[in-house]
Structure 1
Amino acid sequence: MTASVETGGNVGQPAMCTPPVVSPQAWEAAHRQLLVKEKAQTRARDALAAERRRMPWMAVDRAYAFEGPAGKASLLDLFEGRRQLIVYRAFFEPGVFGWPDHACRGCSMVADQVAHLAHLNARDTTLVFASRAPQADIARLKARMGWTMPWVTITDGFDADFGVDEWHGTNVFYRDGASVFRTYFVNNRGDEQMGGTWNYLDITPLGRQEVWENSPEGYPQTPTYKWWNWHDSYVPDAAPDRTWVAVSDAGEAAFRNKDANPKA
């Protein structure tokens, strides 16, 4: 039986013509059919990330200056000693809709979605927001909205030089000693999905740094899942917890067995 359902809309809205209602068996069959396409999309996304890790780099030769909570900071300072830096240019400055109480609504939605930064930091990656608003306004906004990410004030042509003199955009940089390189840039609808740990790592030159990834030779990679931790329990350079390694190994084995037995 495949009856379509027409739902009543809210007052003043037309009724919705929804998909058919089917049996559990038919629903499972439809789900399996869609899953084939979803897995293909996942593999295509992984392949695109692998290609992104092979993009050429651009040397950053200009010295940029920012204002942070502790005073002046250079682009190199923003890395906080890590190798990778993601800078999201949030639209918060005089003239922006919502000023001075709020940042741009779209940028604020991005800020609301940012995952706990300890997981990015554990992969040698720092995330920073940057705007032209003064630090006092940024501190007030962060306190009001409950945001905790580092957020600096742009004081020179950084935004214009990196494609974000208006609106929003995400730039990725890599640090080799005192040398800084631009490795990736995304804006418009491309960075509306940013916020999750995996989405951020997938746009970095080193990626997720797990052994299953297709990365250039010599890139850092560790066993899948093993580096994961509670966000308050990461210890720099610590070996993976042996109990968690056993748990994750058992989980991987269970998934492999399930994939090998479609009826499972």
Structure 2
Amino acid sequence: MKTPPIVSPEEWEAARQRLLVKEKELTRARDAMAAERRRMPWVAVEKEYRFVGPEGEVSLLDLFEGRRQLVVYRAFFEPGVFGWPDHACRGCSLVTADQVGHLAHLHARDTSLAFVSRASQPDIERLKARMGWSMPWYTMTDGFDADFGVAEWHGTNAFIRDGDRVFRTYFINARGDEALGSTWSYLDMTALGRQEEWEDSPEGYPQTKPYEWWNWHDEYGDADGSRAWLAKLAEVGDAGRSG
């Protein structure tokens, strides 16, 4: 192994500062990409998709759990997948499932996350218990995977709802999925984004000051005003389409 040169602390810091310029360029480019996602057109979901959850059959709208936005990851856990029946796909497990942050922070931005597979609920619950996963995970029963680009490969779809109407807003797959898992990465792919004032968003999009909504994951609730924030989101209506 040919290692880099060994230098003084001053030379090392100078090299880091040079690289930091490129890192900040990358951060700004990532923010600009997220801003373009918030301006993507929406497409209405007209079909009635059905899933099975721990409590029985549910619709795509139910997967929102009453929130405004929904992110859905298609995980491969089913007969024919390497690792079945003890494990889900190694890529889905390492790249996505093991990286998911605490969902309370997404919920505070009125956004839900769900995994979907073709395995039965007893198999999914057994897998979650073994691997220590807690995200909502549903069983697909129809052509949802084929219709949303995830029949033969993993991928993550973002949706938003206006009342009972559901719209697809963005899609990430292939190596794009490896960057997902954190609260910020999921919010950055949604139609409303992080919903903070510094973001470049269309006029009328809900935004609050950064840091003010941040909280410990067990402290979100009426006391910190998150319910008022959800009410504010409800007032936005169809601003995403008009923007």
Q: What is the TM-score with the length of structure 2 in the denominator?
A: 0.91
Q: Does 1:219 align with 2:205?
A: yes
Bigger relative CO (Cα 8 Å, ≥ 6 apart)? 2
Output the CA distance in 1 between the equivalents of 2:114 and 2:123: 16
Cα RMSD, aligned residues only: 1.0
Residues 8-157 of structure 1: pairs in structure 2 closer than 5 A: 16-109=1-94, 110-157=96-143
Output the CA distance in 2 between the equivalents of 1:21 and 1:196: 34
Output the CA distance in 1 between the equivalents of 2:222 and 2:80: 42
Cα offset for 1:193?
1.5
Task: Report runs of 4+ in structure 1 exceeding 6 Å deviation.
Answer: none
Output the CA distance in 2 between the equivalents of 1:98 and 1:24: 47
**What amino acid sits opposite 2:24 in the alignment?**
K
Provide the residue aligned with 1:180 in structure 2.
Answer: 166
- Structure 1, residues 195-217: CA drift from partner, whole Å, max 9, x if none? 11110010000000000000000
Provide the residue aligned with 1:4 in structure 2.
Answer: none
Which consecutive residues of structure 2, in runs of 5 or more, have no partner in the other structure? 227-243
CA contact (8 A) 1:66 1:75 kept: yes
> How many residue pairs are counted as aligned between the two chains?
225
**Identical residues among aligned pairs (%):** 74
CA contact (8 A) 2:86 2:127 kept: yes
**Rg: which structure is higher?**
1
**What amino acid sits opposite 2:17 in the alignment?**
R
Q: What is the TM-score with the length of structure 1 in the denominator?
A: 0.84
CA contact (8 A) 2:213 2:224 kept: no
CA contact (8 A) 1:115 1:196 kept: yes
Output the CA distance in 1 between the equivalents of 2:109 and 2:6: 45
Output the CA distance in 2 between the equivalents of 1:172 and 1:19: 42
Output the CA distance in 2 between the equivalents of 1:238 and 1:78: 25
Provide the residue aligned with 2:186 in structure 1.
Answer: 200
Q: Does 1:235 align with 2:216?
A: no
Cα offset for 1:167?
2.4
**What amino acid sits opposite 2:181 in the alignment?**
G
**What amino acid sits opposite 1:218 in the alignment?**
G
Aligned-partner SS, 2:86? coil
Aligned pair in 2 of structure 1 residues 94, 178: CA closer, same or farther (>3 Å)? Answer: same
